[in-house]
Structure 1
Amino acid sequence: MKQTFRLFLVALFAGAITLGGYKYLEGEERISFAPQETSKFIPTTYLGTAAEMSTDFTEAAEKTVHAVVHVKNITVSRQPTNIFEFFQGGGQPRAMVGSGSGVIISPDGYIITNNHVIANASNLEVTLNNNKVYKAKLIGTDPSTDIALLKIDDDEELPFIPFGDSNNIKIGEWVLAVGNPFNLTSTVTAGIISAKARDLNQFDGNPQSFIQTDAAVNRGNSGGALVNTRGELIGINTAITSETGSFVGYSFAVPSNNARKVIEDILEYGNVQRGILGIQVGNINPQIAEKYGITDTEGVFVGGIEKGSGADKAGIKEGDVIKQLDGFKVSKFADLSGYLGSKRPNDIVEVTVLRNGNVKTLAVKLIKLETFSMDDLGLEVKNITAEELKERGLKNGVIVTRALTPEIAQYKLEGIIITKINDETVKDIDDVKRIMMNRNTRTPIKMTFMDTAGSINTFIFR
C-alpha cells in the first residue's frame, strides 16, 4: 500500500513539472527563419492544380463533329475490252469510288472540301454524322489552293462550323483535326500548331502557305476541319508528307482565311479574284545584302517593280525589304503570299518596308492577278501593263510567268513576251484563251515572242 502511494506522488509531481514547463514555453515568441538578402530564388508561377490547367477538348469536339461530313466521289471510266476500243475509244464502263471529308459552313448546306477529293467526279454523295445521305452539287473549285465548294439541300437547318481568324493562330496552340480517315466516320484527333506559313510547293512556282500541325491526319481526312479549342474553323486539312503514305507526325491545312476568301469569290464572281502587290521577289543573299546594305536576314526582298502596279504607285522601290503586312510579321515569301491569299484586288494593304536602314509604311492598292495556263505549251501567262510594253518597245503581248512542266522549264522562258500565236496578234490573256480554244489540235503551235534580251524569236510546238 505504501509502495502504491509513493508511485502516485511521483506521478503527480512529474505531471506538475510537465504542465508548468509547457505553459512557460508557450509564452515565448516562436522562432521563424527569414531568407537573407543575399539568397537567390527562381520565380515560379503557380495558378492551380494540374486538373485545372488541363485543356478540355470535349466542347470543341461536340460543336464540330456533327458538321464534318463524309464525301464520296464516284467517277466513271471506260475500260477497253479489245484492241479496237483501245485505239478508237469506248469500252466497258467502270465506276471507281473515292472518299474524303468536308465541312458544313452554313446552315443552308454549303460544304467546303479539297479539290482533289472531288476531282473528275461523275456523282457526289455526302453522308452526315447521323447517317443521312445527300446528293451534292459542285458549285466551284480552285485547283491552285485545292479548295472546292459543294451544296446539299435539306428542309431543316444543318449543323455548321463558324470560321475563325487563321491570322491570329499561334505556334503551340491546341487544335483538333476532324474527319473520316480510312472511312472511319467522325474521327477527332488532337495536336498543336507546329508551324505557320509552310510552303510545300517552293520549287514549282505555285507558292502555298499551309498551317502545319501534329494532329494525326490520314487518307480520308482531306477536306476535313482543323479547329481550335473554341470549335472555330481555322483550316482545311489538305496534305501530309510521308514516305509511307500515312501519318508520320505532321500534316498541313489551308488557312481558314484563305479558304473563306476562295469560296466567297466562287459564290460572287464564279472564279477566284487574286490581288497582288505588283513586285518581283528575290532571295537575300550575300551579294544582294552587300549591294543594298541589308543587315536583316528576315523579310521579303523586292527584286523588281511592275510599272503602273499598286506597289509602283505607292512608292515601293527595288531593294526594299518587306517586313510587315497590316502589322503582321513577314519573315519569308510564304508569309507574304499566305496573307495576300486572303485579300482581293483593290484592297488596301499597309506594307512596312526596310529601306537604307529606315522603316517606312506605305499603303498599297492591290491589283488583279490575271493568268492563263497554256497546258498544251506548258506555260502560264499573264497580262502586262501598258507601261511595261512601252518600256520593251512593244504595242501588245502577254508575259510568261512560269513553266508548267520540267521539260519546258529547261528553256528558261520566264519573262518573255508573247506577241503572236499562230500568227494571230495577242493583246491579252483573253486572246490567248480564244486562240487556244479555236485552234486545230492536230496542227503545231507557232509562238512569236520577245526574249528578255529584246530579240524577236519564234518557237514551233509540235
Structure 2
Amino acid sequence: MRRSWLAFAAVAYLSILAAVIHAQPVQPPRTLSAEMRAALERVYTQALPASVRIETVPEGTGSGFFISADGLVMTAYHVVEDTRGFRVIDSKNQSLSAELVGYDEFRDIAILRASVNEPVPFLPLETTSGPSVGEPLLAIGNSRGQFIAPRYGIVNTVERDIFPFFNSIAISTTIPLAPGDSGGPVLNQAGRVVAVVVAIGQPNGVFESYLSPLQGLGEVIAQLQAGRKRDVPYIGVQLFQIDDETAATLRIPKEGVLIQGLLRGGAAERAGLRGFAIRRENGQEVYEFDVILEADGRPFNNVTELQRYIRSKEVGDTVVLTVRRGQQILKVELRLTPNPTRRS
C-alpha cells in the first residue's frame, strides 16, 4: 500500500535568513537611478554611526541599530533567539555587552539594551506610514565579511506572504542582502527606518529580500521597550493536508486537516488529542487519528490557513477545536502555548 501521504507539514517557525521562498510571481525589478542612489548614499553616511553588528554565541552574525541615546537596539528576533549570549559591536568597533529587553516573534523584531557609557547616536523610526512599490531603500548590514555596509534596492511589493518563514506580512525588495544582514535597519530617502531585514528568497528564480515593516507598530515597539515578550502561539501538532489519496485510504471525507503527530508537552497533547497511529487487529491494519474540522467555529481545509489563524492569536488564548475521531465529532478546548519544542 502506498503511504506517500504520510509526509506532513510541521507547525514550526523557520526563521532562517537564507530561506528559499516559493511565493507568488513578482513584477520585474525597477532600476535604481543615479539620483536615488546618491540620495541613499547620503542617508548611509548619516545613519552609519547608529548602526551595529551583533555577534552571538554559538558563533553567528547579525545586524541592528540604536533606537535611543541610552543604548536600546532594535534587531530581528531570530538573530538572538535561542542563543546563549550576544554582544553589540558599534560603528567605532567597540564591543558592548547587551541583554534582551523584549521581542515580538510574530513580526520577528526584538529590542536589546547595550551597556553604553555615554549617549549614542540613534535612528528615527517611521511607524505612521510605510514604503510604496518602486520606492528606493537603503539597508545596512554585516554580510559577506563586511562591517556595517550599505545595500541599495527598490520595493517590489508591500504585502508579500512568505509564511511559514515569516509569520506576518513582509515587504519584498531587490536589495542584495545575504546572511549577516538580518536585523539591520532599512531606511527611506528621508533617513527614517521603515523596516527591519528578516529574510531572503528566490521565488520562481527571481531573488528577493524581505523586510518586517514598522508601519503601525508605534505602540507595539513601546511595549517591547517596556519588556514585553510575545511568543508565537502553538497548538502543538504536526499537520497533514488531506488529499484525494489520503481521503480514499482512510475512508474519510476530504475536509479538515489531519493530525499526523503531537509535539511533546504541547497544548494538543495535554488536551487529549491524538496523532496518527496504525495498529493491527485480526490481521488487518487499523488507522487511528483525529481530524481538525474547525477552530472557533471556522472551518479549515488548508494547513497553512489553520496555522495562520492560530499564529494571529496570543499565547494564553483559548481556542475551541471541532475534531472528528472515527464516527464522533468532538469539541476540544485548549490553551495556546509557546513552541513546546523550544521552551519547557
Instruction: Map 1:273-422 onto structure 2 (within 5 A).
Output: 372-375=233-236, 377=237, 407=261, 411-413=290-292, 415=294
Q: 2:91 aligns with which of 129, 134, 152?
A: 129
Query: d(CA) in 2 for partners of 1:268 and 1:187?
Result: 30
Q: Which residue of 2 aligns with 1:37?
A: none
Q: Which residue of 2 aligns with 1:221?
A: 181
The 10-residue stretch of structure 1 (98-107 or 257-266) with the greater mean CA deviation from structure 2: 257-266
Q: Which residue of 2 aligns with 1:70?
A: 53
Q: Is the 8 A contact 1:416 1:449 kept in 2?
A: yes
TM-score by length of 2: 0.59
The answer to whether residue 122 in structure 2 is matched with residue 160 in structure 1 is yes
Q: Deviations over 1:261-286 (max 9, x none)?
A: 4432223462449xxxxxxxxxxxxx
Q: Which residue of 2 aligns with 1:251?
A: 209
Q: Which residue of 1 aligns with 2:329?
A: 455
Q: Deviations over 1:166-185 (max 9, x none)?
A: 63421111111111113311
Q: Is the 8 A contact 2:99 2:114 kept in 1?
A: yes
Q: Is the 8 A contact 1:63 1:161 kept in 2?
A: no
Q: Which residue of 2 aligns with 1:6?
A: none
2:120 partner amino acid:
L
Measure how far apart 1:114 and its partner are.
1.2
Measure how far apart 1:151 and its partner are.
0.4
Q: Is the 8 A contact 2:51 2:64 kept in 1?
A: yes
- Closer, same or farther in 2 for the Cα pair 1:413/1:238, shift >3 Å? same
Measure how far apart 1:189 and its partner are.
1.4
Query: d(CA) in 2 for partners of 1:456 and 1:155?
Result: 60
Q: Is the 8 A contact 1:177 1:216 kept in 2?
A: no
Query: d(CA) in 2 for partners of 1:242 and 1:209?
Result: 17
Q: How many aligned positions are there? A: 241
Q: Which residue of 2 aligns with 1:311?
A: none
Relative contact order, CA 8 A, sep 6+: which one is greater?
A: 2
Query: d(CA) in 2 for partners of 1:51 and 1:189?
Result: 14
The answer to whether residue 140 in structure 2 is matched with residue 140 in structure 1 is no
Query: d(CA) in 1 for partners of 2:199 and 2:165?
Result: 18
- Closer, same or farther in 2 for the Cα pair 1:406/1:209, shift >3 Å? farther
Q: Which residue of 2 aligns with 1:212?
A: 172
1:211 partner amino acid:
I
Q: Is the 8 A contact 1:99 1:183 kept in 2?
A: no
1:174 partner amino acid:
P
Measure how far apart 1:374 and its partner are.
4.0
Query: d(CA) in 2 for partners of 1:248 and 1:429?
Result: 36
Query: d(CA) in 2 for partners of 1:170 and 1:268?
Result: 30
- Closer, same or farther in 2 for the Cα pair 1:406/1:182, shift >3 Å? farther
- Closer, same or farther in 2 for the Cα pair 1:431/1:184, shift >3 Å? closer
Instruction: Map 1:424-435 onto structure 2 (within 5 A).
Output: none
- Closer, same or farther in 2 for the Cα pair 1:272/1:451, shift >3 Å? same
2:208 partner amino acid:
Y
Deviation beyond 6 Å, 4+ runs, structure 1: 50-54, 402-406
The answer to whether residue 225 in structure 2 is matched with residue 267 in structure 1 is yes
Q: Which residue of 2 aligns with 1:293?
A: none
Q: Is the 8 A contact 1:195 1:212 kept in 2?
A: yes
Give ranges in structure 1 of 5+ residues lacking alignment: 1-49, 75-95, 274-370, 380-401, 419-427, 433-447
**Greater percentage in helix:** 1
Query: d(CA) in 2 for partners of 1:407 and 1:99?
Result: 34
Q: Which residue of 2 aligns with 1:435?
A: none
Query: d(CA) in 1 for partners of 2:330 and 2:106?
Result: 32
Q: 1:241 aligns with which of 186, 191, 201?
A: 201
Query: d(CA) in 2 for partners of 1:102 and 1:161?
Result: 11
Measure how far apart 1:233 and its partner are.
0.2
Greater Rg by CA: 1
TM-score by length of 1: 0.45
Q: Is the 8 A contact 1:262 1:272 kept in 2?
A: no
Q: Is the 8 A contact 1:417 1:451 kept in 2?
A: no
Measure how far apart 1:378 and its partner are.
5.2
Q: Is the 8 A contact 2:258 2:292 kept in 1?
A: no
Q: 1:113 aligns with which of 75, 87, 91?
A: 75
Q: Deviations over 1:431-451 (max 9, x none)?
A: 98xxxxxxxxxxxxxxx9754
Among the aligned pairs, what percent are the same residue? 24
